[in-house]
Structure 1
Amino acid sequence: MPQFPIAQRLTLLLLGLMLALPFLQPIHHHPIPSFYEEWLALLLGVLALASFFISRPEKISLPAILWLPGLLLLATLLQLAGGMIQIPMLGLFQSGYLLWAMALICLSASLRERFGTAWLVQVLALALLAGALASALTAYAQRLGTPVPWQILMPNSGRIYGNLGQPNLLTTQLWLGICCLIYFHELRRVRPWLLIAGLLILASACGLVASRTAWLHGLALLLLAGLPWPSRAALPATEQDEAHRTVPQAPGKLRRQRLLLLAFTLVSLIAAGEISRTLPWQHAAGQINAFDRLRSGLVSGDSRLLIWRDALTMIQAHPWLGNGTGNYAWRTVEAAAQAPAGVDTLAGAEHAHNFLLQLAADFGLPLTLAVAIFAIVWLRHVLRGPLRPPEQLALAMLMLIAIHSQLEYPLWHAEFLGLTAVLLGALGSTGKSFRLPRPQLLLIACLAALAILGTLFHDYRILDQALIMRREVRGDEADWRRRMDVFADLAQHSILGPYARSTLAVLMHPDPQKAADQSLICEAAMPLRVAPELMTKCAMLRQMTGRPAEAQALLEMTRRAFRSAEDRAAIESIWQSQEQP
C-alpha cells in the first residue's frame, strides 16, 4: 500500500467529499436553484487543490485532455473581448468553472502519477457509492414519508428526485453508485449478500424516480459489459497492481458476471417502479413510472424535440462563431418567434439539452467539430492503453455522464463537472509535467478563489433571505421597500448583480414616474430571466417612456414566441393592466 502524506490524504478526502456531499444538499431557491450544491462542490474542489499545494509538490501533471476545456476557455474569453456575451458576468462565471475543471484535471492526473490509477479510482468509487446510497435512502424517505438523519427536499409532484431536485440527475448518480458497487465486488471488497442488498437498494430507488434515462444507462452498460476487454494477464504490471490481485483472471467469467448483475439491476428497477404504483401516495395524481412517461412521450411528443429544433435554428443563424455563451435563453425566444404558425414552441429554455448542440449554438460549428475530434482522438488513445478494472470503471462512468449530456446538461452543474474533470484526469497518459519552483503561488491563487467563493455565498444568502422573507411577510409596504433596496444594492455592487437585477425586474411594479429607470433594469434583466410576464412588463415600460413602436415590436415577439394558452392569458392580462388606474 502506498504511503500517503497527511496533506495528500486530506486532498483525497476532500475530493471524496466533493463527489458525495453536494448531491445531498436540499435547498433549492430561485433565482439559482442549484446555487448551494454547486457552491459546495466548488468549495471542496478548491480546498482539495489547496491541500495538494500545501504538501509542496515538486511538479504537477498536464495531461493532454487539458486542451479540451482550455479550448472552450479561450473561446469564452475571445467572446468576452469581442462583446458577444450580452451579460459579461455570465462569461466570467463560465471562465471560472472551466479554470476550476482544468485545475481538477491536473490534480487528478498528479495524484494518479503519484499513487496510481487503482488507488485514486477506489477513493472516488467509495465516495460515489456512499453518496448514491444516501441519495437512495433520501428517495425512499420522499416516497414513503419516513424520516432520515438529514434534511430532505419533499417532492411537489408525482416524481421522486432526491435532494438534487431533478429526477434525471438523481438517476445518473444512482447508476454511478451501481457501477461502483459492482466494481468493489469484483475486487472482493463486498460480499455477495451485501452486493445484492446494495443493488436492490440502488435499483429500486432508481425505479421510484420514473426516469427513462435509467433504461438508457442500463442498456448502455450492458453493451459495454459485453465488449471483449483485454485479457488481464496480457496487461503490464504496475506498482499499484497489488490492489487488483483478487480480480477474477478470466475475462469471459468477468464479462458474464457483469452482464448478470446488470440484468438483475434492470429487472429490479422495473419491478420497483411497478410495485411503487400500488402504494399510497400523497399526490392525488399518484406516482407515475417510466412506462407512463414513455407512452405519454410517444403520444404527445417530447419537449426536447422543440428545444432541439430551436437550437438548430440558432445554429443556422450563426454557424461560424455561435451566438455567444450565456445568450442561449434569449436566442430561444428569437428562434421560437420564427417558428411557423400553429407549431408548438418552448421559448426560454436555458439549455439545448444536448451537449454538442449547445456547443454549436454557443461557439459555432468549427469549434464544436474541433472539440469532437479532439475527444475522439483522446478516447482512442485511452482505449489503446491498459484497460484494467479501474480504467474500465472510469470509462463506464464517463459514458453515463456523456449519455445524460445528450439529453440534458449535467456538465453545467459543478458537482457533475467536478466528477467529470477528476475522471478525465484519471485516464490516459499523464502527459507533460510542469515543475513548481514556488508552489506557494498556486496556494495563494486557491486562497483568492476561496475569498471569491466566500463573497458569492455572502451575497447569495442576502438575496435568498430577502426572497424568503418576501414570501413570508405580505402587505407590509415598508418591508417591501426594504427588500427592493436590498435587491437594488446587490444589483449595483455584487458579483451576482445580474441575478439580483432580474429579481428586481420581476418584483417591481411599473410606475410612470420611475418608468425610465425601471425600463433600464427590465431591459438588462430580459436576457437572463426569459419569461412572458417579464417581457410584457418591459413592453409596458417602453410604452410608458414614449417608445410605442418598440413596445409593440417586443409585445408581438413575445406573443409569437410564447403560444400556450396559459402564456397568452398572462401576456394579455399584464398588457391590459396598464390601462387600469
Structure 2
Amino acid sequence: MLVLASLALQLAMGVVFFVGDAVMVLAYLLAWLLAVYVGQVVARTEARQNLDAFWFAVLGAATLSVGLALMQWLDVEGLNIFLLDMPVGARPFANLGQPNNFCTLCFLGCAGLLYFHERGVVRGTSFGLAWCWLSFGMALSQSRTGWLQIVCLVVGLWWLGQRIPLRVRRHHLVGMGIVFTFWVVTLPWLADALLVTAGRTLGEQMQGGVRFSYWLSMLEAVLQRPWLGYGWLQTGLAQQLDSASAFRVGIFDFSHNIALDAVLWTGLPLGLGIVFCFLFWTFQQFRRLNNGIAVMTMLALAGVMVHALLEYPLAYAYFLVPFGFIMGTLHGLIPSAANSGWGLGRRFMAGLAMGVAGFFAIIAHDYFSVENAVRNLRFESAHIGLRSEPVPVPTIRLLTQLDALMRYGYRDPGENISKEEWQKTGWISDRFGLSFVMFRYALASGFYGNSVGAKNTLEKICRVHNKSKCQNVRIMWSQWGKKYPFSIGSIDFPEVDN
C-alpha cells in the first residue's frame, strides 16, 4: 500500500516524469505479490513435494550454471549457441550476464541443498560433493557478496542450531566454510596452472571500490529532496543533481542498496516506512522459526537480501519472483504466521492473475515494438543505410518513457523547437542520463534560447560520464556550432577538469 500511495502521490506532484515508469513499478509489484501468494498456498498444503519441485529447480539451475561458468572460464569452444561469450579478462557469469548474480544463484542452490539435507533426501557423500561444486561456483564468480553470504550461512545456522534441531551439525558448518575458503584462496593458483585468466586477484577482491563513496553521495542527494524523493526508478536524476557524485563512470540506474533506493525514490518518510515494514515482517518471521525447513527458507531469503544491500538483484524478475515465492513460503511454513494475513480468496487471486497476464501482455507488446524501432532509429542516427524517410515511431500504450526516448532521445532537435518538445527532451535527459540524450537536450536548450541550461547540461555530461565521452561531446558541439553559428555557435563549451 505504501508503494501504491507513493506512486500516486509522485504522479500527481509531477515527481515521476512518465506514467510508463509507474507502470513498470506496478508490474513488478504485482509479480511479487502473486509469487508471495503462490508460495504461501504451496507451503500451507499437505503436498510438500510442491516445495521440493521449487527447490529442485533452483538447485538444478545453480548446478548447471556452475558447469556453464566453468566452460566460460576455461574458454571451451563450440558452445556459443548455449552460452554467452565472456569478455577477455572478465569474471565468469554463466548465462546470467553478471558475476554477482551468478554467485547469488549458486547461494540459492546451496540453500536448496540444505533444504533437501534437512528433508533427509541428500546426505553424506552426495551432500559433500554437491556443496563442493556449488561453493566452487561461488568462488569462481570472485564476488565479495559471496563471502558475506557464506558468513551469513555459517554463523546463522550455528546460532539457530542452538534452539532449533537441525540435521546440519556444527562440524558440518566448519567443513562447509573451509571448503569455500579453500576455493577462494586456491583459485588464482589454479588459474595460473591452467593458463586461464583469474578475473581479479584476491587482493583486488578485498578492495572496496567506489561503492561506499557513491553511497555517501546518494545520502547527500537524499538530503536535497527529503520529502518526496527523486521518483521511482529515477536514481540517475539524483546522480545528475548531486555535484559530489563525480565518478565519471556513467549513470547508475540503482544506488546498489535497496534501502537507499527506497529512500532516494520515495523520500525519507515513505522510504523509511517501506524499509521498516519489511524489517518488521522479517523480524516477526525470525522470532517464529520453529523447524529446519523454515530455517533454510529464511537462509535463502537472507542471502538475497545481503546481495540487495550491495547491488540490485531484485531489479531482475528472475530473482524478484523467486524471492517473493520464498517470502510466501516462509510465511506459510510457520503456523502462527500462516493463520494471519494474506487471506485473499482464490477466486479473487485467479481473477487478479488473469488481469495481470493481460497487463503483462500489453507491456511485452510495447517492449518488442520499441526494441525493433530503437534498432532502426540507431541506424538512422548513425546515418547507416539508404532510408529516404524517417523511421516511424510505433504506437506505445503503456511504456511512455520509451515512447518519449524514441521521439526525442534518438533524433536531433530542430532549430525551431517548440516549448513542449524542449520540455520533453529535458525530461528524458533527466530520466535516463544517457550521454547522447543529454547532448540532444543541450542542443535543444541552445535552439530554444536557454544558453545557461545548455551549458549546465554539457557540464553534467563531463561530470557524470567518462573523459572520452566528454571529449566527443566537445567535438560534436563545435561541429554543431559551425552549422548553427547564431544559436549553438554563440554558446561556449564550459570549462571542465579533464
Structure 1 residues 65-76: aligned runs within 5 Å: 70-76=1-7
Structure 1 residues 51-130: aligned runs within 5 Å: 70-115=1-46, 119=49, 121-130=51-60
Confirm whether residue 134 of structure 1 aligns to residue 64 of structure 2: yes
* Residue 177 of structure 1: how far off its partner (Å): 0.7
Distance in 1 separating the partners of 2:275 and 2:423: 40
Structure 1 residues 26-425: aligned runs within 5 Å: 70-115=1-46, 119=49, 121-146=51-76, 147=78, 151-157=82-88, 158-229=90-161, 248=167, 254-281=169-196, 286-289=197-200, 291-294=202-205, 297=207, 302-335=209-242, 337=243, 344=247, 348-425=251-328
* Residue 172 of structure 1: how far off its partner (Å): 0.7
How far does the alpha carbon of each residue in 1:560-581 deviate from its partner, in whole angstroms, 9 at most, with x for none? x337422431331222120244
* Residue 334 of structure 1: how far off its partner (Å): 0.7
TM-score (norm 1): 0.73
Aligned to 2:488: none
Distance in 1 separating the partners of 2:31 and 2:174: 37
- For the Cα contact (< 8 Å) 1:225–1:259, is it kept in 2? no
Distance in 1 separating the partners of 2:101 and 2:296: 19
User: Identical aligned pairs, as a percentage?
Assistant: 19
Equivalent residue letter for 1:123: A
* Residue 211 of structure 1: how far off its partner (Å): 1.5
Equivalent residue letter for 2:394: D
- For the Cα contact (< 8 Å) 1:229–1:387, is it kept in 2? no
Distance in 2 separating the partners of 1:124 and 1:554: 49
With over 3 angstroms needed to count, the CA separation of the structure-2 counterparts of 1:548 and 1:435, relative to structure 1, is: closer
How far does the alpha carbon of each residue in 1:463-500 deviate from its partner, in whole angstroms, 9 at most, with x for none? 33445567899865444846x31xx224xx34233224
With over 3 angstroms needed to count, the CA separation of the structure-2 counterparts of 1:476 and 1:332, relative to structure 1, is: closer
Structure 1 residues 412-491: aligned runs within 5 Å: 412-428=315-331, 429-430=337-338, 431-432=340-341, 434=343, 436=345, 439-440=346-347, 442-468=349-375, 477-479=385-387, 481=389, 484-485=391-392, 488-490=393-395
Match of 2:450 among 524, 539, 547: 547
* 3-state SS of paired residue (2:394): helix
Q: Report the number of matched residues.
A: 474
Distance in 2 separating the partners of 1:480 and 1:363: 45
How far does the alpha carbon of each residue in 1:326-381 deviate from its partner, in whole angstroms, 9 at most, with x for none? 3221121011x356xxx645562111111111111112223333334333433332
- For the Cα contact (< 8 Å) 1:212–1:293, is it kept in 2? no
- For the Cα contact (< 8 Å) 1:138–1:148, is it kept in 2? no
**Structure 1 gap ranges (5+):** 1-69, 234-246
- For the Cα contact (< 8 Å) 1:311–1:332, is it kept in 2? yes
**Structure 2 gap ranges (5+):** 332-336, 484-498
Distance in 2 separating the partners of 1:156 and 1:507: 28
Equivalent residue letter for 1:380: F
With over 3 angstroms needed to count, the CA separation of the structure-2 counterparts of 1:154 and 1:574, relative to structure 1, is: same
* 3-state SS of paired residue (2:95): helix
* 3-state SS of paired residue (1:426): helix
Equivalent residue letter for 1:288: G
